[in-house]
Structure 1
């Protein structure tokens, strides 16, 4: 293979397209796995490093914070210097950080290495949707988005199982070393096949990047502290810093031709409606993701293994439905499926409470499969609308904000679940699932209003 600087306006030719898509699939898989695979290994790492569980949790937190604060800056940098450069650099950083993680002698060094790994992971996730838009022809964009969604769902579902299998035959160090051959393979393919994109020739805005770190970093930290910390002054201080930094960031973007925080895209009602729908949808998803394990394990008394098995049908249903959602979004208008998908998702959430508990675990499995299928039917078309409602040269900003919306929704959903669980006299599954269903229905209504206004030509 030979590297070509040609810019393809409507997707890459075969077999370059298949190899480029395999590159970003491997990259996304590694980034998602390393966000969840460590949870299983935390007790082993804490014991091996002779630290408390609370100290070991920073191994996970450092990765998540690095991803959150770096998404938008790296997406903006991708528009300035090229998405392929960000992806390839991310693979190098991710690979080097994985080696550093594996051979870290102390928990402090491991945490620092995970921070670097999070920066690499952010590079891979921030522009993956933008790369899909440049890899796939426009009439197959939904297919490409659905395949990425399937990779994410399978990786998330397989994370704990992969971690358990590795720990059963080797040490926790191999949780990181397994990334090395995958990163090398992805880099080798990506160097020759990833597409080039038109550059906006804009200088990187370091001031906005710093304000972005302060705003999103303290916001996610504050949301994570809710329900787990009694220090209200600390939480209030984190929110205050996040709000002040956010206001300064937004004001700074007004005079920028290609703002790091894409206010220019948020002025588009279709794009803004899609972002709001996404945040609410992921909020609902994580209320359920956080609360159901506690219900199965602590209330019903299921083992950790059985709890994990009961939760598996959700991502499996998402992985199975995503390709169908992609085909439908490409063949027909993507807009109706977003509202339909979120409505089905809300029904599945309510079904976890409605279905009789004495009917066995099959009712739970059915309810969670409805949730997974409904969410997949929403996510792929909604992401397609987000990407196509932004100009092609701003697909990096759209991709970065797409990932940021997902993380904001997940963080706020986890925080809300923690509040509802902490301040209830007993575990109230109905309250949690109906709250999640409320956010899902709000997302469906937002999608329906956006879709109707778009259809009659009120907005564009």
Structure 2
């Protein structure tokens, strides 16, 4: 489970550093090359909920193993791609495979751990997700320092096949349920794909300077209209693909809102911090990379502690405190003095990682456990959907900030970090409301 989620999450960001090399070798523009990343993210996002619904019907184990097998095999196609369209198609297949893993990941964690130790399992899972998100560029830098971009895909093949082999031996089957799921609707799948694709592409058009703002706004509106129709179709179903039944549970809905705000803040910081360190403070790539590792290291340290606190203290308060600590770290980074020492930067990074880890484990634990057992797949799919949607929105917000303050002289980065801190505080406020809702 740890290997699988690490691979699927890391692959969403591992290619960022290689995009210039890919564009040069495959004779593509930077705008075209970005679709190597976008294809993976879109395919993952649009299929999380359909595959989670399929997991409720066919078994989480089966969806997970097929997804990981597809991820490994499509990595071979990506490694051998000799044209941009072929690489984009392979990346879309990779994203589809990763969606199979991410959609049922937390549902399987719920099956694997006994209820009195589920908090520790969720903490381990959250730690791996947070660390993998931040580690992607660092892993890529290490590989690209002595090999071509093709090897970023090559490493997935043996690891993916190993995970499939281990998973066949170890992953549990779904427990028997008296609840009969609703009929699987391909129309709902199409509406889900269309809604998220329109919203993602619309946001992408708004977030790049070469994009078309009018087209982006039209696509976003079209996505929202499709979403209204889609949700209305789902409203009266017993086990809807878009889990409106779970969103009627106040604690679940507040946890989802907290997750969106937290991941929006995380992505804002994740994207602007390299600019702050490299262009504003004049750090080398090696120095910046080492300083950024303070974030995941702190997450690794705090996540197990957060797991032990689950059940002893209300998750709403743990999440709120975590977001306040996270926001404090972001504000301190925004106010970083000129010529700050490495230690001065590192402890601020560590504060961000510690706060986020304290929030994420209790929040995900609440999302999963507030859903009935037979709806674990839907809850698991929503965990991944909230993460990817929040991160997409964070990237769009950062693009808007840079469109207004387009020179990387420190002002744009400072404002972006302040906005991220505001988003984190809003997530903390939403988290605190769960304490009353849970009574």
* Same fold per superposition (TM over 0.5): yes
Separation of aligned partners in 1, 2:337 and 2:30: 38
Unaligned runs of 5+ in 1: 1-23
Residue 137 (structure 1) aligns with: 114
CA-CA distance at 1:251 after TM superposition: 0.5
Residue 442 (structure 1) aligns with: 426
Separation of aligned partners in 1, 2:314 and 2:434: 13
Q: CA RMSD in A?
A: 1.8
> Does the Cα contact within 8 Å between 2:330 and 2:348 map onto a contact in 1?
yes
Q: What pairs with 1:31-430 in structure 2 (closer than 5 Å)?
A: 31-197=8-174, 198=176, 200-229=180-209, 230-424=211-405, 427-430=411-414
> Does the Cα contact within 8 Å between 1:348 and 1:368 map onto a contact in 2?
yes
Residues 1:347 and 1:170: Cα distance change in structure 2 (over 3 Å): closer
The alignment covers a number of residue pairs equal to: 432
Moved more, 299-308 or 120-129: 299-308
Unaligned runs of 5+ in 2: none
Residue 7 (structure 1) aligns with: none
Secondary structure, aligned partner of 1:124: helix
> Does the Cα contact within 8 Å between 2:314 and 2:435 map onto a contact in 1?
no
Separation of aligned partners in 1, 2:414 and 2:275: 13
CA-CA distance at 1:411 after TM superposition: 1.0
Residues 1:180 and 1:424: Cα distance change in structure 2 (over 3 Å): closer
CA-CA distance at 1:154 after TM superposition: 3.0
> TM-score if structure 2 supplies the norm length?
0.94
- Is residue 28 from structure 1 mapped to residue 8 from structure 2 by the alignment? no
> Does the Cα contact within 8 Å between 1:141 and 1:330 map onto a contact in 2?
no
Task: Encode CA deviations 1:306-332: one digit per residue, 9 max, x unaligned.
Answer: 322222211221122111111111444
Separation of aligned partners in 1, 2:249 and 2:181: 23
Residues 1:188 and 1:359: Cα distance change in structure 2 (over 3 Å): closer
Separation of aligned partners in 2, 1:248 and 1:453: 29
Separation of aligned partners in 2, 1:451 and 1:224: 36
> Does the Cα contact within 8 Å between 2:260 and 2:390 map onto a contact in 1?
yes
